[in-house]
Structure 1
């Protein structure tokens, strides 16, 4: 996965309480080849009108929204089924961080395993940020994982960014759990060789 240390970006507010993984990526697209990118499926059904055309009023369809690397979302984002494809769709669309009061638990952990930083801030602060963005759509937010802080625009200040230490280290290094294991191959091989030397029957 792509390493994340610090991202400064404009922010798109995507409203909607309890936005579940089927809204983030409808189930019918999960069988698609990931190598071709899941970004085209992101919010597929809710960002289109009844005729299937992109709705110009949907936040991510507005001019310049595709440049944003941070989304502000509402309570319980990513609830519902455990599909990891919801995170793939966001990552493939270039989203590096999400800000919300609360995330769905499984979605939160899937995000960490794919280098997508879920930032939890108090609800009143998220609401204040949404109000600020409504008046200042070009305002930027900095998510600084290395420094452990989130810097909001205007007078909204700087706030701690707290993640599990193991997940934080993996994201900073750009390593998922398999890639992290592979960094220890010399020690693994040495252990296997010593174990077989001490127990020759294991090598038969």
Structure 2
């Protein structure tokens, strides 16, 4: 029982440390009761994270099994730490792959003139900010600006009155474009 509690403490400590990246958004990793109290807050992103979570859980289980078979004398806490590191790394990589796939399809379908996006890690870092001037991804088509929603897994149009106040990652409309200048 003591080994199990230590392993659970190692896992909790790992995820509590990860939650410090953006505690406002990832606080449920450090305080698991938040996952039970506020399930809708986290479940609204399930459409995006479903496959990355399943892939990362599979890889973490495989890594745990391999570590246990190859090094049975390694302490349980170390094995748990390896499993959690694999889980996090595969989750981030597979989420970034999914993001790239979804955004690429949407941008190609829209025939966008300009496109910019953040990594998933960077998007998690800005998620939940009350006054958000950074976007997860953006594309411009003509004078229209579209930004990405992880909740809806699509781009949506924003009015110019809002877009001029955002960091559009290089897709800003040039002043020369507005004045009709050739450069």
TM-score after normalising by structure 2: 0.23
Q: Bigger relative contact order, structure 1 or 2, given CA contacts below 8 A and separation 6+?
A: 1
Relative to its length, the structure with more helix (as a share) is 2
Q: TM-score, normalised by structure 1?
A: 0.21
Greater strand content: 1
